[in-house]
Amino acid sequence: MDHRSSFITKLTAAAASVALMTSCGTTVKEASTPAVEQTTEAVTTTVTTTAPPATAPSVITTAPQKPSIVVTDSSGNAIDQTLPKGSTSPNTSFYQDHLYVTGDSICHGFNVFGFVPEDHCITQGSVSMWNRDYFYFDTPYGSYQMVDAIAALKPKLLYMSLGMNDVNMGDPQAYADRYAETALDIIGKVPDINIVIASITPIDATVTDFTSNDTIRSYNAALKDKITGLKNDRIFFFDAYSVIVDPATQSMRAGGTSGDGIHLSTECYTDFLNALYMFLDKTDVMANIQAAEGTA
C-alpha cells in the first residue's frame, strides 16, 4: 500500500494493537553497555521507568471535538493550529513522502497504524533521551546508534518523539538539554534536515498511574523553552500534547488510548499528522526541502 493512501485509510484498531504489542520499532539490537551499567540497580531502573506495551484498544464510536490549539514556532511566534473537523494541509502528500520519524513505541505507532513506512522509522520500544545510545538501529547502510542512523538515512523532514520513558527520571531540564544537544548533533551531520520536536503526549489518568500529566507538562515546558530558545530555523517545537488532550481535564481525551492509558489510538495519529502538516505550512520547511532537492 502506498503510504500516502494509508494515511487516509485507517487500519482496524484491534489488528493494529496486536501489531503494536509485537513490534516496537525497526529491527534493532541493543548495544552492549559499559560494565558499570550492568548492575542490578541499572536493570531495576530500566524496568520501573519504561512505559509498558500497549494492550487491546478501546472502541472509538465518536470523533472527539478538537480544541483550539496555539503553539509557538522556533522564532517564538504564536501559530494557531486549530483543526476544523476534516481539514488537512494541501501539501499533505509532499510532507508524507518526506516524513521520517524517530522515537519510542508511541512514535512507532505511526508505522503500526499504517501512516509511515517501516523504512522511514527509526523507532524502538523503551528508548528515551537518557538511554538512546544503548540502542542500535538497522539501516540499509549498517547498524547505528540513533543519531548516526538518522545521518545514514539523510531525511529532509524528521519528526522526533521521545520522553515517556524519561518522565520518571526526575529532571526536566536535563531532558530538555539532552534533546537540544541531540537535535544540534543531527543538524551537524545532516545540514539540510528539518527537525520537528514533539512534546510528550498526555496519559489517560483514569487508566494508568505510570506518571502524572503534571509531570509531563513540566517536561514539556522545559523542552519548549529550550527548543524555542535555540532560535534555529531548522528545529521546530510541535505541541503534540495539546492535539490529544482534553482541555477540561488536562488528561488524554476520551478514546485517545489504545487501551493502557499511555499508547495511542489510530485517530490520534491522524490528528497528529493533520496538525503537523498545517503547522509546517506556516514554516519554511517545504521551501527548505525543495531547495535542498533542487525542485524549488
DSSP H helices, the chain, are: 3-8, 13-22, 40-48, 92-98, 105-112, 146-153, 172-189, 213-230, 240-244, 266-280, 285-293
Residue 77 pLDDT exceeds 80 = no
DSSP string, 21-48: HH--SSSEEEPPPPGGG-SHHHHHHHHH
Question: How high is the pLDDT of residue 74?
Answer: 53
CA angle at 22 for the pair 156 and 122, rounded to the nearest 5°: 15
Give the model's confidence band at 75: pLDDT under 50 very low, under 70 low, under 90 confident, else very high: low
Residue 264 pLDDT exceeds 60 = yes
Per the listing, cell 537535535 goes with 183
Domains detected in the chain: 3-55+68-293 (3.40.50.1110)
Question: How high is the pLDDT of residue 32?
Answer: 40
Which residues touch 24 (CB under 8 Å, ≥6 apart)? 53, 105, 108, 123, 124, 125, 126
For 112-150, how does the pLDDT look when each residue is reduced to its tens digit (9 = 90+)? 999 999 999 999 999 999 999 999 999 999 999 999 999
- Is the pLDDT higher at 139 or at 76? 139
CB atoms within 10 A of CB 139: 17
What nine digits make up the cell of 268?
490520534
Question: How high is the pLDDT of residue 248?
Answer: 95
The predicted model scores a pTM of: 0.74
pLDDT (average), residues 32-59? 39
DSSP string, 230-283: H--TTEEEE-HHHHHEETTTTEEPTT-BSSSSSSB-HHHHHHHHHHHHHHHTTS
AA identity, residue 98: H
